[in-house]
Every structure is written in structure tokens, then in C-alpha cells.
């Protein structure tokens, strides 16, 4: 077994590998760019080596610098993680030449499967079902249009060396083929150093299901069941689970056998994933093979009890697989949510900046439920525009699918992040979505269920009752605290009115505090771990009043209200705003103002604040680099026409005009680094 390994990666996957290596008694070496000097993986490793500037091409993708770091630290082997160099045939060959072991498949297997065009040909020879397509590299737009028309729309344009949703576009027309080809090629070149793309049929209403395989260097290959990865946005997986709610045992066995046959055909000898596109009728077609560890590997680990990183290390060290196919048993259900630094209310554009607060729910294993958080950040750290925007992977495991979903929803509600925008509100909304909970999935789920993008969900009846109760409890604690401030003028004690009007979003609710009790020797609620209230709640209209028993432990400054409302446990996110609180729970969001009846009457007289009109400007929706400007000053532009391309976190985003107009001024040029909401151009 190795004594020291180097991890040629960053972020959460580097931290994940370090944890397993540490448990195995193996020393670890981290590498880092200038942007990652203070990153968590650098702090966790036994040694760390600087390898260059922030740009990945000059650091994490620089093979010679990784090899030099191995020589400098005496690392015997390298784990590539995923992304970066993990699927580049040249990397293990360079390591082999330097006498260093690659913790991954042999170069020939990477060459056979890492190239998406060649992998489809190999799959066909191995008897694996494949999607119809044009498997030659596309030379130009004219050839792309001919191929797409021959296959039939819609088609998928895909980077031959791609992965992770980069270099992929769906096209429904000739015009979309031309634009999609340009974007896919550019992203592929930027992310993988290879701009070759091919075209295949896009299966409508498909599901994305993949099989995890393990092979050793002695000819043994097994599979570890499937993962369902159908919840995707822009071909990027967002939520994964294992097993799949679609598959039956016969289909699982057939897919597993084909995956193993393909792995055997190319002499595969590490952890890898064979991805399939699956129809709702359970017909499946080979998509691609990822010759590396997958982002979503934790769900497989939790349902099988097998540490995939450990298996990769043992295989690379020459050990035989100690697991036979008959040993693999799937137990319970696991769900993973990818927490990204992005703004779900602005079409999920990346968000960069400092993590002012980062308080994930504690990892635990109790009452049949496991909660795991794979992360590579810490509070005070910075989310950089140079790398993928993933902050963490939150994973829950339970005996049943619905129990795993409930555990995931509760964990998302209690995950506190401040300083940047993030997609937790969206993930929480999906966890509560009836179609997701029923397992009726497809890769079009997000586009179909959120066709106009994601917007804050106004509280329904249940959410309103819970959020109003939390708001009144918070206001009560704040009021009690103010009454105990020292040095107040003597005189008659102030009596607080028991009736409240709670404005929650667009609606108003009446609440009466029937009784209030502070826990712990009569101390003030702000100073104790538990307080209780009994509220008389009026939802309005003809609804009868309800009596609500509320218990909680909130104190001023907390960003999380943990409590129960009539016995129902809830974790409500709390952020102070002027005269009120911004609350979020289970994907619902609203601002709450707790007034006395007199205050409520006066508040109703206040005029609403008008939003500024920015319709005649094109604003940069995220911090990023300007790739190109498609218009000139004085040019007439129609609504929907592309005007600029901005790159952020390895993804290119096409910005389009929202109105018809004539370009008045252009304030940016290719190569400029822009802040969020920077004005790119203005119309007359």
C-alpha cells in the first residue's frame, strides 16, 4: 500500500479523498493555485504544493507541474478526483514515465472511453445498446446542419472530450444548431483543451440513469447498481439518488450486465460509470462512460456500504477486488443535492464572493437516517469565478425513498449560508414537489416544472401558519429582551399588547398571544434554550381561529429558528430586514412584519416602493469575463437576439436583448472582467 499520495484536484473532492486516505493511514499532498492558497483541502492535507496562477490551464491542468509536485514531495501515486486531468490519457502516461502510479484506469481504457465518439463505437462492438447519431467529429456548421437533419430534431451537440455538462447543447432547429455548435466548441476548448464535438439524437422525455462499475488489474469487474440523475439543468446534474425509482430488478440486472461487458471489453481497472439514457418504458441506450469517480458517488456508497475512493486506491496498488457481484446488496435509499453558488432567481447565474456564514447541518447517523456533507469550503472562504460553483454535496440516507427525501428537506432548511447567493431555496422547493416525491422524473423536469424560471414561492396555508408562528415567537423574544434593558426610566411598567397583525408577503394574519412562558428558572426567553407560546391564529376569511402551541430556542442573532408548531418540527431561515424578518422554509419565502393593531393601521397608509426601470440596459447577470460582443453602437436589435457572451465558472452564458431597440452605447469589450449588474450596453 502507498505511504503518500498526491491529490491533483481541489475543493470538496480533494477533501473527500483526504478523509479516506487518512483513515487508511496514507499521507496526502495537496496542490493549489494562487486562488486556493487558503482553501480547506490545503489545510487538511499533510503537505501542500503551489502549482501556479488561478487559471486552471496554468495550474490544475498543467501536467508537468503536478509531476514536479510529486517528485518534490515523494508522492508514490496520484488521485485525480474528477474534472481537470481525471480523463486525460496524457496524464497517466506522464505519471507512468515518471514512475508514479495513477489512481484510476489504465491509459488505454481512458482513450477508449474518454473520447465520446470512440466510446460509442466501442459500445456498439461490445453489444451495448446505443443512441442513433453522427459519430464523426463535426467540421463546420454546414456539416452540423446536414447531420442534424439526417438524424431528425431535436439533437444533442456534445463535446467529444466532455463531461460535467460542459460543451453540450440541445438544438431544435437549424438556427439552434449553428449557435449551439459555437458555444459547445468554445466551452469544450476552454474546459478540456479539445473542441471536437459530435451530434446524436436527443431522446425526448428521457431519464438519465448510470451504473457504477469497479474493475481490478486481475480481470475482475462488478457493478454496484444504479444512480438516477435525471434532475438536471443545462445538462448539469443537480439532484441524484440511488437506487432509481423507475427500474425493476430485471432492468437493473440487464443494465448492469451491459455496463460490465463494456468495462471488460476495454480492460477497465478502476471505478467508472457507464451512463445510459432511459425511456419511460425502461428501454435504455448507452450515453457515455466516465473513466473517473463521479460527483454523485456518495449515494452509491451509502446504499452499498462500499467506499469507492478506498477501492480505487486498493486497485491502483494492485490488490484484487475483495467484493464479488453476489456480495453487492442495495440497502435503503440515498438522495444527494448539489449546493451551488448561484442565484436561482436570476436564471441560476453564478455567484461569487466571501462566505460570510457557512453553517451546514451536523453530519450524523441516528434512528436509521444518515446525513453526510461533502464540502471543500469553510466560513470566511471565498467562492472564486475561476472554478466550478459547487459549494457542497448534501447527502441523506434512510430506509425508504420518502424518508430520505424528508431528511434531505429538513437538512436543506437548516443549512445556513450568507454572503453569496445559493440554490438551497430551489433544492428545498424540489424536495416538496409532488412530481419529484412521486418519482415521475425526466431530464426535462426543471424546464417543465419551472418554465419561467424559479421564483420565490408564496407560502401556502400550512407554510403561512408555521412562518407566522415563528415570526411572532421571534418578535416576542425581541420585545422581552428590550423590556429587560437596564437604565430605563422609572414609572409604570409598559404593558405589551397581546394582539398582533402579521403581514406575511401579500397577506395579513391576526394573532393573539394567549400565554407565554420562558424556560429555565423564569429567565428571559432570549437567554434560555426553550420558550413556549400559545397563540390564537386567525387565517382570515371564514376560517375559524386555531390554537397553536409553539416551542423554540431562538435567540437574537440566530439565522435559524428551530422549533415546533403544534408538535411539527421546523427549521426556518431568519434574516433581519428593516422592521421585520425575511423567512424561508421548505422552499417558501416571505418577509414578515409583526405589528400591533395600531402599527398595522399606519403601515397600510405607507406608499409602496417603486422598482427602477432598467429595461433599456443589458446588465451582466453574474461576475464574469466578457467572451464576445455581438452588436455595434447604432445597430438595431430585436428582442431575443444575442448581444453578448459572458463566461463564469467554466460556463458560457449568452445574453439576449429583452426589448427591440437601437444600441446607444457599449460599455464593455471582450476580455473585460465585470461585476454583477455591470451595464454592458444601453439602448436609445
Q: pLDDT tens across 193-221, in order?
A: 888 999 988 888 899 999 999 999 999 99
CA distances from 331 to 250, 363, 393, 399 (A): 17, 20, 21, 7
From edge to edge, which strands make up the β-sheet containing 197-201?
Answer: 133-134, 197-201, 155-163, 166-171
Q: Tell me the three cell numbers of residue 567.
A: 408538535
CATH number of the domain within which 407 lies = 3.30.470.20
User: What is the domain-level CATH number for residue 179?
Assistant: 3.30.1490.20
89-115 confidence digits (pLDDT tens): 999 999 999 999 999 999 999 999 877
Residue that finishes a domain, picked among 310, 331, 352: 331
pLDDT of residue 652: 82
| pLDDT at position 518 | 66
Identify the pLDDT of residue 622: 81
Q: Buried b / exposed e across 322-359, counting CB within 10 Å, b at 16+?
A: ebeeeebebebbbbbbbbbbbbbbbebbbbbeebeebe
pLDDT at 467 over 60: yes
Q: Could you report the per-residue pLDDT of 581-605, keeping only the tens digit for each?
A: 999 999 999 999 999 999 999 998 9
**With 50 as the cut, is the pLDDT of residue 523 above it?**
no
- pLDDT band per the 50, 70, 90 thresholds, residue 480: confident
Instruction: Show which of 536, 570, 603 is a domain's final residue.
Output: 603
pLDDT band at 528 (very low <50, low <70, confident <90, very high): very low
Question: Per the domain annotation, does 487 fall within a domain?
Answer: no
Range scoring the smallest mean pLDDT among 320-324, 536-540, 609-613, 672-676: 609-613
Q: What is the CATH number of the domain that holds 13?
A: 3.40.50.20
Whether 226 and 157 share a structural domain = no
Please give the mean pLDDT across all residues of the chain.
92
Do 324 and 360 have their domain in common? no
CATH number of the structural domain spanning residue 678: 2.40.50.100
Is residue 676 predicted with pLDDT exceeding 90? no
Would residue 456 count as lying in a domain? no
Percent of the chain with pLDDT strictly greater than 70: 96
In a shared domain, residues 549 and 475: yes
Active-site option among 288, 410, 647, 652: 288
> Does 137 lie in the same domain as 127?
no
Q: Grid coordinates in use for 270?
A: 478502476
| pLDDT at residue 613, rounded to an integer | 59
Domain annotation covers residue 674: yes
Q: How many domains is the chain partitioned into structurally? A: 6
Region 224-246: what's the mean pLDDT? 95
Same domain for 665 and 526, yes or no, is no
User: Any idea which residue has 438595431 for its cell?
Assistant: 636
Which residue's C-alpha cell is 487538511?
Answer: 44
pLDDT in tens, 240-283: 999 999 999 999 999 999 999 999 999 999 999 999 999 999 99
Where among 184, 201, 218 does a domain terminate?
A: 201
294 and 212 share a domain?
A: yes
Of residues 658 and 581, more confidence is placed in 581
pLDDT tens digits along 343-355: 999 888 888 889 9
Give strand ranges (E) for 363-473.
364-366, 369-375, 382-383, 390-398, 416-418
d(CA 364, CA 354): 27
Q: What's the confidence (pLDDT) of residue 142?
A: 93
Q: What is the pLDDT of residue 525?
A: 39
How far apart are the C-alpha atoms of 355 and 357, rounded to whole Å?
Answer: 5
> Does residue 507 lie in a domain region?
yes
pLDDT at 526 over 70: no
Residue 492 domain-assigned (yes or no):
no
pLDDT at 234: 82
pLDDT digits (tens, 9 = 90+) for 14-58: 999 999 999 999 999 999 999 999 999 999 999 999 999 999 999
CA-only gyration radius of the chain, Å = 27
State whether 512 and 392 are in the same domain: no
Q: What is the pLDDT of residue 163?
A: 67
Q: Are residues 52 and 181 in the same domain?
A: no
pLDDT band per the 50, 70, 90 thresholds, residue 527:
very low
Residue at 518 is within a domain: yes
pLDDT at 407 over 80: yes
Do 299 and 396 reside in the same domain of the chain?
no
**Residue 72 sits in the same domain as residue 168:** no
In which domain, by residue range, is 384 found? 338-448
- Same structural domain for residues 194 and 212? no
CATH number of residue 540's parent domain: 3.30.700.30
* Cell, residue 518: 420562558
Known active-site residue 288: yes
Residues 122 and 211 in one domain: yes
Would 453 be classed as within a structural domain?
Answer: no
pLDDT for position 350:
84
Three cell numbers, residue 500: 398582533
Percent of the chain at pLDDT > 90 equals 74
Q: Is 285 within 8 Å of 276 (Cβ atoms)? A: yes
Does residue 6 have a cis peptide bond before it, meaning omega lies within 30 degrees of 0? no
Q: How far apart are CA 132 and CA 201, in angstroms?
A: 6
pLDDT of residue 294: 96
Task: Provide the pLDDT for residue 521.
Answer: 36
Report DSSP state, residue 3: S
The reply to whether 353 falls in a domain is yes
Amino acid at each position: 500500500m502507498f505511504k503518500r499520495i498526491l491529490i491533483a484536484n481541489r475543493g470538496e473532492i480533494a477533501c473527500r479523498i483526504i478523509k479516506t486516505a487518512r483513515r487508511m493511514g496514507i499521507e496526502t499532498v495537496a496542490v493549489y493555485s494562487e486562488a486556493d492558497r487558503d482553501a480547506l483541502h490545503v489545510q487538511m492535507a499533510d503537505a501542500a504544493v503551489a502549482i501556479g496562477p488561478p487559471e486552471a490551464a496554468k495550474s490544475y491542468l498543467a501536467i508537468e507541474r503536478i509531476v514536479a509536485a510529486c517528485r518534490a514531495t515523494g508522492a508514490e501515486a496520484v488521485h485525480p478526483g474528477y474534472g481537470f486531468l481525471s480523463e486525460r490519457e496524457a496524464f497517466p502516461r506522464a505519471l507512468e514515465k515518471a514512475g508514479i502510479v495513477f489512481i484510476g484506469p489504465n491509459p488505454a481504457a481512458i482513450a477508449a472511453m474518454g473520447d465520446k465518439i470512440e466510446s460509442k463505437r466501442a459500445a456498439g462492438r461490445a453489444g451495448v445498446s446505443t443512441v442513433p447519431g453522427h459519430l464523426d467529429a463535426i467540421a463546420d456548421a454546414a456539416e452540423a446542419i446536414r447531420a442534424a437533419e439526417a438524424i431528425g430534431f431535436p439533437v444533442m451537440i456534445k463535446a467529444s472530450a466532455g463531461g460535467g455538462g460542459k460543451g453540450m447543447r440541445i438544438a431544435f432547429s437549424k438556427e439552434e444548431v449553428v449557435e449551439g455548435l459555437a458555444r459547445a466548441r468554445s466551452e469544450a476548448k476552454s474546459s478540456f483543451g479539445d473542441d471536437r464535438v459530435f451530434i446524436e439524437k436527443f431522446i425526448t422525455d428521457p431519464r438519465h440513469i448510470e451504473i457504477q462499475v469497479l474493475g481490478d488489474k486481475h480481470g475482475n469487474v462488478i457493478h454496484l447498481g444504479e444512480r438516477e440523475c435525471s434532475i438536471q439543468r443545462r445538462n448539469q446534474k443537480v439532484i441524484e439518488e440511488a437506487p432509481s425509482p423507475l427500474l425493476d430488478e430485471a432492468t437493473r440486472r440487464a443494465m448492469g450486465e451491459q455496463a460490465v461487458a463494456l468495462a471488460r471489453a476495454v480492460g477497465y481497472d478502476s471505478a467508472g460509470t457507464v451512463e445510459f439514457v432511459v425511456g419511460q418504458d425502461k428501454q435504455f441506450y448507452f450515453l457515455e462512460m466516465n473513466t473517473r469517480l463521479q460527483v454523485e458517488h456518495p449515494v452509491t456508497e451509502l446504499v452499498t456500504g462500499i467506499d469507492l475512493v478506498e477501492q480505487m486506491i486498493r486497485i491502483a496498488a494492485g490488490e484484487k477486488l475483495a467484493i464479488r457481484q453476489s456480495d453487492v446488496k442495495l440497502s435503503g435509499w440515498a438522495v444527494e443535492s448539489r449546493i451551488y453558488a448561484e442565484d436561482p432567481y436570476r436564471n441560476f447565474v453564478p455567484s461569487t464572493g466571501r462566505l460570510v456564514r457557512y453553517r451546514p447541518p451536523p453530519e450524523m447517523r441516528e434512528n436509521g437516517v444518515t446525513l453526510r456533507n461533502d464540502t471543500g469550503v469553510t466560513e470566511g472562504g471565498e467562492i472564486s469565478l475561476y472554478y466550478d460553483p459547487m459549494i457542497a454535496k448534501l447527502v441523506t440516507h434512510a430506509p425508504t425513498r420518502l424518508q430520505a427525501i424528508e431528511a434531505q428537506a429538513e437538512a436543506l432548511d437548516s443549512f445556513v449560508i450568507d454572503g453569496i447567493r445559493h440554490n438551497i431555496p430551489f433544492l428545498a422547493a424540489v424536495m416538496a414537489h409532488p412530481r419529484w416525491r412521486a418519482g415521475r422524473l425526466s431530464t426535462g423536469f426543471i424546464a417543465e416544472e419551472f418554465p419561467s424560471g424559479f421564483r420565490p414561492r408564496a407560502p401556502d396555508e400550512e407554510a403561512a401558519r408555521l412562518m407566522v408562528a415563528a415570526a411572532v415567537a421571534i418578535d416576542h423574544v425581541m420585545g422581552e429582551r428590550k423590556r429587560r434593558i437596564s437604565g430605563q426610566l422609572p414609572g409604570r411598567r409598559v404593558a405589551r399588547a397581546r394582539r398582533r397583525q402579521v403581514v406575511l408577503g401579500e397577506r395579513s394574519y391576526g394573532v393573539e398571544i394567549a400565554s407565554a412562558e420562558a424556560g429555565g428558572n423564569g429567565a428571559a426567553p432570549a437567554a434560555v434554550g426553550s420558550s413556549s407560546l400559545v397563540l390564537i391564529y386567525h387565517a382570515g376569511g371564514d376560517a375559524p381561529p386555531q390554537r397553536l402551541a409553539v416551542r423554540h430556542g431562538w435567540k437574537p442573532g440566530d439565522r435559524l429558528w428551530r422549533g415546533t408548531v403544534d408538535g411539527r418540527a421546523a427549521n426556518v431561515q431568519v434574516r433581519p430586514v428593516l422592521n421585520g424578518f425575511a423567512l424561508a422554509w421548505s422552499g417558501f419565502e416571505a418577509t414578515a412584519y409583526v405589528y400591533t393593531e395600531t402599527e398595522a393601521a399606519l403601515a397600510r397608509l405607507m406608499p409602496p416602493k417603486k422598482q427602477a426601470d432598467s429595461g433599456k440596459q443589458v446588465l451582466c447577470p453574474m461576475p464574469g469575463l466578457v467572451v464576445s460582443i455581438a452588436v455595434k453602437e447604432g445597430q438595431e436589435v430585436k428582442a431575443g437576439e444575442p448581444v453578448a457572451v459572458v463566461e463564469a465558472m467554466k460556463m458560457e452564458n449568452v445574453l439576449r436583448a429583452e426589448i427591440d431597440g437601437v444600441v446607444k452605447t457599449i460599455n464593455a469589450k471582450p476580455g473585460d472582467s465585470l461585476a454583477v449588474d455591470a451595464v454592458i450596453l444601453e439602448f436609445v
